[in-house]
Amino acid sequence: MSKLFFDNIIMFEEVDKAIKNVASSTEELNELRDIVDGIVNHKVVEKVLDKLPKEHHEGFLALFHKCPHDEVTIFEYINQKSGRDIREELENDLKSISSDILHELSPKDEVSEETGVSKK
């Protein structure tokens, strides 16, 4: 079984929909999902570290390494060291990350450099 401590507050359905619409095979779908997974993991770590005093960064990382699935222990640690309940803040950060990724996934009008005319 695989679980990360923030899995219960992340809902990137639209991102998964967008990826499914594009992927032409299961392998491709899994590859794209893996890339998004990596983006989310790095972003979540960055957002959590933004909220923690620097002296507690290693404590968080150690917990994340030891028990990455343990939502209660990790959130307790972060809340205690940051002095507030950051769960809602992190949920909002995740929504923003989702919008960011969706923005990347939405087709844009590519313009040819040579002619200045849309490639569509």
Partner 1 sequence: MTQPAKETYQKYTQEKYTSEFLRNKLKLKSLETKTSLFEKYPHVKKFLDEKGLDLDKIRKHSAKVITTGALTGTLLFAVPTPSRNLPVISSIVKNITDFNSESSKPINQEKLLTNLREILPDNVGPLTRSQEKQIEKVINDVIGVNTKATLEGEHLNTTYGFIGLEQHLARYPGDNVTYMAPGRGAWGYFAGSKSNLTEEAIEREKWYVAVQTLYLPDWEERLSYVKDWYKYRKVLVVNTANGNAVIADIAEAGPAAWTGKQFGGSPEVMNSLGGSRYTKGAVVMFFVDDPKNKVPLGPIQYNNIDLKGVTMVEV
State the nearest-atom distance from the C-beta of 14 to partner 1, in Å. 9
State the nearest-atom distance from the C-beta of 120 to partner 1, in Å. 9
Q: Which residue has the tokens 């209660």?
A: 72
Our CA dihedral for 35, 41, 43, 44, rounded to 10 degrees, sits at 150
Q: Side chain identity at 2, as an amino acid letter?
A: S
Q: Which of 53, 67, 83, 84 binds partner 1 (CB under 8 A)?
A: 67
> Which residues contact residue 65 at a Cβ distance below 8 angstroms, ignoring those fewer than 6 apart?
none
Q: Does 88 bind partner 1 (CB under 8 A)?
A: no
Question: CA 52 to CA 99: how far, in whole Å?
Answer: 24
Q: Where are the beta strands (DSSP E) in the chain?
A: none
Smaller CB distance to partner 1: residue 73 or 80? 73
Q: Does 87 bind partner 1 (CB under 8 A)?
A: no
Question: CA 118 to CA 91: how far, in whole Å?
Answer: 38
Site string for partner 1, 31-60 (x = CB under 8 A): xxxxxxxxxxxxx-xx--x-------xx--
Q: Does 84 bind partner 1 (CB under 8 A)?
A: no
Q: Does 30 bind partner 1 (CB under 8 A)?
A: yes
**Number of shown-chain residues binding partner 1 (CB under 8 A):** 57
